[in-house]
Amino acid sequence: MTKPTKVTLTFDNGIEPIELPILSGNLGSDVIDIRTLGKHGIFTYDPGFLSTASCNSDITFIDGEKGLLYYRGYPIEQLAENCDFLEVAYLLINGELPNELEKKQFSSTIHQHTMLHDQLTNVFRGFRRDAHPMAVMVGVVGSMSAFYHDSVDVLDPILREITSNRLLAKVPTVAAWSYKYNIGQPFIYPQNHLNYAENFMHMMFATPCEKYEPNPVLAKAFERILILHADHEQNASTSTVRLAGSSGANPFACIAAGIASLWGPAHGGANEATLKMLEEIGDVSRISEFIKRAKDKNDSFRLMGFGHRVYRSMDPRAAIMQRTCYEVLNELGLHNDPLFKLALELEKIALEDEYFVSRRLYPNVDFYSGIVMRAMGIPNSMFTAIFALARTAGWIAQWNEMITNPEAKIGRPRQLYTGNTRRDFIPVDKR
Ligand code: SDX
């Protein structure tokens, strides 16, 4: 059957039918182009954007039915297996994998921008020591526009590239220093001879008192974790970055807005929440109690790390993350890690339960990531910060795509007004 090219809206009150074109992409669902509806004084209603495409994009494709994830057309499995993180960041931002020279130049550029302006250390010191690292990251990244205001002209392609490189290079330093500040240890400066993952691990775990050599197996696994989190089309935080950027706001402020949105437990905060949930369940014998709570509409508890707006099958990232769990736990001699065993059993039981099967709820990227990071010595409070530093690559790519789109307009949704109709002021002595 040929695909439809248009749809006609007919109304039951006799007003003229409206014809709307149907647009097709290269992959995935077609969309009805409703942009002209507003001229007829008619608007659509879709809180949470369950059925609404907010933009066209060439960056990432997800097939929720088949559990597919492509970055610029490359399957995530192939990128996770064969690339390093900066190679994937280059692909997301520029649209092609770098050749040898491009890869060397990009990596060298990023490594030369890893240091923060020295006065930024004062911004960290304005926070209470026990501030959540994500609170510090939102604040420090947002303040970067006050230190790098020479490159915030979003209409200048050269300055956009400089700011993109500064963000990609400096957000790991901000994340690692947010942790060091939290635990009262001195900031460890980036080491430009280390690769992206090793450098972050060094800034996280090294101290001035002894030499720290990142474990190469763990560093490779960490690169893979960053690749898996790098982009995911129009998720909540990416949509936040695009909306903030659509007003012409500076890129540091847009990325800070993305970090803030990612922090929510329904989104990137789920990795930290999943580990807390597993620690609360504690033992396989209590799984059924928590499954029951997750199914109870009167209980706000949800199975963290489960379910997804788009995936109606296994999140391909969860499968790779599970394999990474085995690899890291074996490397560390933790193959009997009780939380990993608990997670495997929880997944098995949930996937045999009609409630989850009928709603097509599967583990997502956050279900196993916390177990891997915890095994690597990363505290729960840093899980989402690491998600944010990885997603900075995707946010930058999506922000650049939005800014350079000739059809770009400021994002300004409409509403269905359900408040009071017109009424007159009542003086206070008459209320
Ligand atoms: C990320 O968008 C992205 O791409 C995000 C992300 C990315 O890379 O950027 O993939 C990263 O955010 C992954 C998701 C991490 N969040 C969690 O793991 C939190 C737990 N999951 C849920 O909160 C939920 O599944 C969401 C938020 C992820 C998706 O919510 P939706 O799409 O709004 O689905 P829904 O709430 O409408 O759920 C449909 C049904 C409901 O039941 P009914 O009303 O039909 O009876 O499924 C139920 C929900 O109650 N449900 C769950 C559940 N998730 C959905 N029930 C129990 N446990 C869950 N986890």
Residue-wise pLDDT for 367-406, tens only, equals 999 999 999 999 999 999 999 999 999 999 999 999 999 9
| Protein residue whose Cα sits closest to atom 24 of ligand 1 | 307
The pLDDT assigned to 2 comes to 82
Q: How confident is the model at residue 154 (pLDDT cuts 50, 70, 90)?
A: confident
For the four alpha carbons of 317, 323, 327 and 330, in that order, the dihedral sign comes to positive
Q: Which atom of ligand 1 is nearest to the CA of 233?
A: 4
| Protein residue whose Cα sits closest to atom 33 of ligand 1 | 309
Q: Write out residues with Cβ below 6 Å of ligand 1.
A: 232, 235, 266-268, 270, 294, 302-310, 359, 361, 364-366
pLDDT per residue over 320-354, tens digit each? Answer: 999 999 999 999 999 888 999 999 999 999 999 99
To the query of whether residue 267 is one of the catalytic residues in this protein, the response is yes
Ligand 1 pocket mutation, candidates 54, 309, 367, 391, criterion most atoms within 8 A of CB: 309
Q: Which one is catalytic: 84, 202, 308, 315?
A: 308
Q: CA–CA separation, 2 vs 89, rounded Å? A: 38
For the four alpha carbons of 326, 359, 226 and 263, in that order, the dihedral sign comes to negative
Q: Are 206 and 148 in contact (CB under 8 A)?
A: no
Q: Ligand 1 centre and the CA of 154: distance in Å?
A: 34
Q: Are 366 and 373 in contact (CB under 8 A)?
A: no
Q: Among 87-91, 241-245, 372-376, which is the least confidently predicted range?
A: 372-376
Q: CA–CA separation, 18 vs 11, rounded Å? A: 9
Q: Ligand 1 centre and the CA of 324: distance in Å?
A: 23
Q: Ligand 1 centre and the CA of 295: distance in Å?
A: 13
| Protein residue whose Cα sits closest to atom 20 of ligand 1 | 304
Residue 303 has pLDDT above 90, yes or no: yes
Q: Which atom of ligand 1 is nearest to the CA of 238?
A: 9
Q: Ligand 1 centre and the CA of 49: distance in Å?
A: 14
| Protein residue whose Cα sits closest to atom 48 of ligand 1 | 359
Q: CA–CA separation, 50 vs 37, rounded Å? A: 19
Structure tokens at 257: 């807005």
| Protein residue whose Cα sits closest to atom 5 of ligand 1 | 235
Q: Ligand 1 centre and the CA of 362: distance in Å?
A: 10
Structure tokens at 89: 């960041």
Q: How confident is the model at residue 293 (pLDDT cuts 50, 70, 90)?
A: very high
Ligand 1 pocket mutation, candidates 364, 387, 395, criterion most atoms within 8 A of CB: 364
The pLDDT assigned to 260 comes to 98
Give the number of residues written for the chain: 431
To the query of whether residue 232 is one of the catalytic residues in this protein, the response is no
Phi, psi of 60 (to 5 degrees): -130, 140
| Protein residue whose Cα sits closest to atom 39 of ligand 1 | 359
DSSP for 347-379, please give it: HHHHTTSHHHHHTT--B-HHHHHHHHHHHTT--
Residue 3 has pLDDT above 90, yes or no: no
Q: Which one is catalytic: 84, 231, 315, 366?
A: 366
User: In sequence order, which residues have a C-beta less than 8 Å from that of residue 167 and are 6 or more positions away?
Assistant: 141, 144, 251, 252, 255, 392, 396
| Protein residue whose Cα sits closest to atom 4 of ligand 1 | 235
- Looking at the DSSP bridge assignments, the partners of residue 23 are 31
Q: Are 391 and 231 in contact (CB under 8 A)?
A: yes
To the query of whether residue 113 is one of the catalytic residues in this protein, the response is no
Ligand 1 pocket mutation, candidates 239, 299, 302, criterion most atoms within 8 A of CB: 302
Kindly tell me the burial class for residue 78, based on how many C-beta atoms sit within 10 Å of its own C-beta (0-12, 13-18, 19 or more): exposed
Q: Which one is catalytic: 63, 267, 337, 353?
A: 267
User: In sequence order, which residues have a C-beta less than 8 Å from that of residue 219 and are 6 or more positions away?
Assistant: 195, 197, 198, 201
pTM of the model: 0.95
pLDDT per residue over 8-44, tens digit each? Answer: 999 999 889 999 999 999 999 999 999 999 999 999 9
Q: Ligand 1 centre and the CA of 304: distance in Å?
A: 9
Average pLDDT over residues 53-71: 97
- What percentage of the chain exceeds 70 in pLDDT? 100
Residue 162 has pLDDT above 90, yes or no: yes
Q: Ligand 1 centre and the CA of 159: distance in Å?
A: 38
Q: Is 287 left (phi over 0), alpha (psi -120 to 50) or beta?
A: alpha
| The dihedral formed by the CA atoms of 284, 286, 289 and 293, expressed in degrees to the nearest 10 | -80
Residue 153 has pLDDT above 90, yes or no: no
Strands 6-9 and 60-63, sheet pairing: unpaired
